[in-house]
Amino acid sequence: MIKITREDALAYHQQDGIPGKLAVVPTKPLLTQRDLSLAYTPGVAYPVLEIEKDPDLAYEYTNKGNLVAVISNGTAILGLGNRGALASKPVMEGKGVLFKKFAAIDTYDLEINALDPQQIIQIVAALAPTFGGINLEDIRSPECFQIEQTLQSMLDIPVFHDDQHGTAIILAAALLNTLELTNRRLDGVKIVFSGAGAAAIACATHLVKIGVPRQHIWMTDIVGLVYEGRKEQMFPEKQAFANGSRPASLTEVLQGADVFIGLSVANVLAPEMLKTMAANPIIFAMANPDPEISYDLAVAARPDAIVATGRSDYPNQINNVLGFPFIFRGALDVRARAINDSMKIAASHALAALARQPVPTEVLRAYNVDHLEFGRAYFVPKPLDLRVCEWEASAVAQAAIDSGAARLALNMPAYRARLQTLAEKGLSAPA
Ligand SMILES: NC(=O)C1=CN([C@@H]2O[C@H](COP(=O)(O)OP(=O)(O)OC[C@H]3O[C@@H](n4cnc5c(N)ncnc54)[C@H](OP(=O)(O)O)[C@@H]3O)[C@@H](O)[C@H]2O)C=CC1
Ligand SMILES: CC(=O)C(=O)O
Ligand SMILES: [Mg+2]
């Protein structure tokens, strides 16, 4: 377990006298008059005319195919709520760094000063020709649903709201493995969510797709239980998870639950609330930066529990960092039109399977531990594990090909070898 302070974090963001975490770097030589004539006018006119004739050539002559827009309006920055577009920039730059270092994908972060979904849709759709994919981030519910669905229906590149689907993919991998560790089945557990927003609704939807009965899912938010007939703060995506017929508090709903999934805000769980959960409870307190209950308090309250948070500084990190770089890697490499359910489910299974493999010593070194082995303290891969790129991106690419979302086919063994090299380069190259 490592500890960082506010001062450490602020100093990191100004380290080496360079504000921020990401820069744009050229990929072609620009040293001579000839280079200048090729990169700029007159040479640049030739690819312009080629792309006008055949738009697919943008993938050959520009960085479109390896460029993702990371887009936020700052309305749900981590669990900090609406802090505005500008304040979301450190998170969006952070996502960009992870895209680059973990999967060699370039990004532009675009912080949009707009709240109206129609305005955001219009802006993103107009910018789309630049990019091979759109990663929406930290846009609050319910607006995020309309924004993502409308954009995906308008565009022929993947539009992926990371807080929804990235989170759901990792959560499902973690749940598959912890259910096995506690001898439970997907269709035999009571699952309680704190939070009924973008992340919670997408996680619940994904869990239903992999085999959790909808009626086993209980969702709570600031009002309490999301029940049939509730009128306050409802919208259709939340309504789809209404359960029970009367109001109830999180404390009440948690009684006898096998699994707690926190996707809300810090400190909504008190230790005594965990005492009524079933034996060997699974507690995923995933709000960031501070979870619904701290790791230490949860373990102290329920020594028989499996506990995870979204944080990098505690064991068992369930965070969408294990998703978006690698999911986009696979999707971009087959020029997928979208990231569909088959691709998401394949990503979950790939992560769950990788966690069962022996852990290389480089990963132990990166986390300063002597030993990691599939079990209660290690059931999802570590984000700094170079193998995640190969396992997850290839599973996503294969599923895209099999499900018809891909525009390119791949030789899979060669592709997996290329992913290995790419991950090694990404993590060893300077930022
Ligand atoms: N670990 C990970 O990888 C990820 C974690 N998250 C975390 O999930 C949380 C939600 O994010 P997201 O879904 O994008 O945001 P949204 O704004 O879409 O949803 C927030 C949800 O939290 C609920 N909430 C707010 N305050 C409370 C409270 N005091 N008690 C109970 N529920 C409350 C809201 O309820 P209401 O609608 O009634 O206000 C809403 O349902 C954040 O903490 C975020 O950091 C998100 C993505 C990934
Ligand atoms: C991890 C993340 O995307 C979030 O907490 O919003
Ligand atoms: Mg987020």
Q: Which atom of ligand 2 is nearest to the CA of 95?
A: 3
Last residue of a domain, one of 148, 164, 180: 164
In a domain, 10, yes or no: no
Round to whole Å and give the CA distance between 387 and 426: 12
Pair (160, 170) in one structural domain? no
299 contacts 324 by C-beta, under 8 angstroms: no
pLDDT, tens digit, 9 for 90 and up, residues 203-232: 999 999 999 999 999 999 999 999 999 999
In a domain, 4, yes or no: no
Pair (177, 268) in one structural domain? yes
In sequence order, what are the residues at sequence separation of 6 or more whose Cβ sits closer than 8 angstroms to the Cβ of residue 306? 178, 181, 182, 280, 281, 282, 283, 316, 376, 379
Round to whole Å and give the CA distance between 80 and 264: 10
Q: What is the CATH number of the domain that holds 55?
A: 3.40.50.10380
pLDDT, tens digit, 9 for 90 and up, residues 142-190: 999 999 999 999 999 999 999 999 999 999 999 999 999 999 999 999 9
> Which DSSP letter does residue 378 get?
B
Number of domains in the chain: 3
Full residue range of the structural domain in which residue 55 is found: 19-164
Catalytic (active-site) positions = 40, 95
Nearest-CA residue for ligand 2 atom 4 is 78
In a domain, 14, yes or no: no
In a domain, 148, yes or no: yes
Round to whole Å and give the CA distance between 173 and 360: 20
In a domain, 359, yes or no: yes
Round to whole Å and give the CA distance between 260 and 207: 13
Pair (260, 328) in one structural domain? no
Pair (56, 180) in one structural domain? no
How deeply is 366 buried, as exposed, middle or buried, from its count of CB atoms within 10 A (0-12, 13-18, 19+)?
Answer: middle
Q: How confident is the model at residue 2 (pLDDT cuts 50, 70, 90)?
A: confident
Pair (301, 329) in one structural domain? no
Q: Which atom of ligand 2 is nearest to the CA of 199?
A: 6
pLDDT, tens digit, 9 for 90 and up, residues 336-394: 999 999 999 999 999 999 999 999 999 999 999 999 999 999 999 999 999 999 999 99
Pair (176, 121) in one structural domain? no
In a domain, 408, yes or no: yes
Pair (152, 171) in one structural domain? no
> Which DSSP letter does residue 334 get?
T
Q: Does the Cβ of 392 fall within 6 Å of ligand 2?
A: no
pTM of the model: 0.97
Round to whole Å and give the CA distance between 143 and 162: 14
- ipTM metric: 0.99
In a domain, 329, yes or no: yes
Measured over the CA atoms of residue 427, residue 384, residue 326 and residue 11, the dihedral's sign is negative
Residue 51 token pair: 């792309």
In a domain, 12, yes or no: no
89 contacts 129 by C-beta, under 8 angstroms: no
